[in-house]
Amino acid sequence: MSGSLLIAATSSDAGKSVVTTALCRAFARRGLSVAPFKAQNMSNNSMVTAAGTEIGRAQWVQALAAGAEPEDAMNPVLLKPGSDRRSHVVVRGRPYGTLGSGEFAGGRAALAEAAFAAYDELRVRFDVVVCEGAGSTAEINLRDWDYVNLGLAQHDAIPTVVVGDIDRGGVFAALYGSVALLEEEDQALVAGFVVNKFRGDVSLLAPGLDRLTALTGRPTYGVLPHESGLWLDAEDAVALEERPRASWTGGTDRLRVAVVGLPRISNFTDVDALTLEPDVDVDWVRGPAGIGDADLVVVPGTRATLADLRWLRTTGLAEAIAAHAERGGAVLGICGGAQMLGRVIADPDGTEGEAATVDGLGLVDAATRFGPDKALRLAEGRWSGEDVTGYEIHHGRLSVRSGEAFPGGVRDGAAYATMWHGTLESDGFRRAFLAAVASGVGRDRFESDPSVSFASARQERIDRLADGVEKHLDVDALLALVRDGVPAGLPTLAAGPVVVPPQAPPGSAVERVEAQPAETPTEGPA
């Protein structure tokens, strides 16, 4: 077998990543070599490959699901929002340029060329390429430049399945409209639908599904139930407070962890391993009141260190974190957060978008200097007798002046700074770190659960996703699409009469913004 499948959707966060991950595992279970592919991501949650290149974390996890080695061809274009109107662009895992209001270094044609070349490489080397779209299938305002949704599908006549999130409401209209708004040649590649996040008796949907098929001539390949307790390493910092937590064992002191929800947070999954610990409470905070009685405050990574440091000060969080440390509470800074904990941050050339030198929080004796070169590498070490691994993605170099050695940084009393992402996924190190925090804050009866394995938990989640897809979707029919392509003769839907708007008055033209991320960036083709 050799072929591809594109998982598109009616909107962002409809479940494309989850369905793609589950199908990667389901297809691999059938003995096929499988590669995930996303032509372009917009996400600050990324990962480093063994080759020292950077890709979206979702594609990294999808590669694990497929049993494939993660590589930069699986996510050839990555947009990393920095300031509110500027994104950094990564092509084939390396820094490439910046994307701002109405301009891009290198042009979209170069991005499309890089994306299609990467896809073609995977098609030669793997039996199946499971592609993930971005944002909405029907972003018709972007179609002329698209190379991640139907633009990608047209490149290789890829059969496309559209996922709709019924939890948002209006799923039938969204699925129908996602096809009807497309041009005829794009509609010809949409083979059918998947309904996601359904709650209740699926038989209640039958009349609607039947009507949808009658109207579109396309089947629904299945209905996936809502799984509130099942999550993966996501691309976007959405619904952070809703991420599941382990249940308290009731036998020890509890540790409360307050994670600062920075506006431009990156790699927020660094703290996911803490949520597996049954006697650790993890809360996301965005104001000084949230620090309260926390035992540990985590300042995570950020794509805009100076801007988010200003935000800490304007919200009062900087003062609250300093007071927390003064009381003997523990603080962990990761990457951009580690830089904030130091004494000074210098960005003389405006690598992050603004040339400035500012004081840090002064909790560790270290200084940061930004430069154009980007560190991308895997890391490993030992601390407190335990092995620890992580990865580095940063422009700022942390220079430690004094203090105790700590993986990727420094420890000064109860203040810990590390430039390594992902360290808490190392089970032995996580337990040793939590024990040190607990001892420092007087939680003498705290004990980590020695049976908790983050790597095993991730694999179990992937297997549960694949089990759900096997149960609720027609996987064999989807594989037939991969093998045989889109069925011929699919009907073309009419979107309605074309209305030509009146000529806009002079001076009222609206500039098209290429990348304008919100405070918390969400997925989209940009």
Q: Could you give the residue numbers annotated as active site? A: 335, 421
In Å, what is the CA distance from 439 to each residue of 413, 436, 444? 12, 5, 6
Q: Which residues contact 170 (CB under 8 A, 6 or more apart)?
A: none
Count of H helices and E strands in the chain?
Answer: 13, 26
CA distance 457 to 64: 13
CA distance 523 to 514: 14
Q: Are 418 and 271 in contact (CB under 8 A)?
A: no
Main-chain phi, psi angles of 62, to 5 degrees: -60, -35
Q: Are 90 and 80 in contact (CB under 8 A)?
A: yes
Q: What residue has token string 């290149």?
A: 53
In Å, what is the CA distance from 509 to each residue of 86, 188, 472? 21, 34, 48
Phi and psi based region of residue 221 (left: phi greater than 0; alpha: psi -120 to 50; beta: remaining): alpha
CA distance 86 to 104: 10
- Listed in order, strand segments (DSSP E) in 401-462 are 404-406, 409-412, 415-418
Please give the full DSSP string across 72-95, using - where no structure is assigned: GGGS-EEEEE-STT-EEEEETTEE
CA distance 307 to 523: 21
Q: Are 163 and 9 in contact (CB under 8 A)?
A: yes
